[in-house]
């Protein structure tokens, strides 16, 4: 829940997204690095209508000009049950940087769902220079399987 408060402190309007979305996946710490070829990994928690339903791994690979390392947090909001089911069944993958909105003050006011999904990222530290092509993939594990 610390990651949730970090997002809502930067943008109080985001609290409405946490409350009103059908569900969300939150990744408190995603580590990313690269020198020509890059990778990122983070472990998150998935919520459906306010109830924790499982854990999720985020993995990202990309190629192109890049140098450095970065830590960030990410939240993926699901507008409805269909969008959440696509995520938990492994059918959701996307271009990482193209679909994310920087979580800054007021960013949630103009943000809109795209195909039932809305993604925000918030940099925690580091510096990354890049012009890359890549994408994120997710692996969901229901809480009752742990």
Q: How remote is the C-alpha of 138 from its chain's centroid?
A: 10
Chain length of the chain: 146
Q: Is 142 a member of any domain?
A: no
**Number of structural domains found in the chain:** 1
136 falls within a domain: no
For the record, the structure tokens of 32 come out as: 């990313």
Give the residues of the chain that fall short of pLDDT 70. 63, 65-67, 94-111, 125-134, 145-146
Task: Give the C-alpha separation, 48 to 62, whole Å.
Answer: 30
Structure tokens at 115: 């195909």
Range of the domain at 47: 2-127
- Containing 81, the helix (H) or strand (E) segment is helix 81-88
Q: Within a domain: residue 146?
A: no
Run of H or E residues at 51: strand 51-78
Task: State residue 65's pLDDT score.
Answer: 65
% pLDDT > 90, the chain: 32
Residue 98 placed within a domain: yes
Q: Is residue 111 part of a domain?
A: yes
47 assigned to some structural domain: yes
């Amino acid at each position: 829940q610390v990651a949730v408060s970090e997002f809502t402190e930067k943008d109080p309007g985001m609290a409405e997204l946490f409350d009103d979305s059908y569900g969300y996946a939150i990744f408190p710490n995603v580590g990313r690095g690269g020198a020509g070829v890059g990778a990122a990994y983070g472990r998150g928690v998935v919520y459906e209508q306010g109830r924790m339903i499982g854990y999720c791994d985020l993995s990202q690979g990309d190629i192109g000009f890049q140098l450095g390392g970065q830590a960030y947090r990410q939240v993926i909001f699901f507008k409805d049950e269909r969008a959440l089911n696509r995520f938990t069944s492994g059918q959701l993958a996307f271009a990482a940087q193209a679909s994310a909105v920087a979580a800054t003050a007021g960013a949630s006011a103009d943000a809109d769902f795209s195909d039932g999904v809305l993604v925000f990222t918030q940099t925690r530290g580091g510096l990354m220079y890049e012009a890359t092509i890549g994408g994120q993939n997710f692996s969901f594990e229901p809480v009752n399987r742990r």
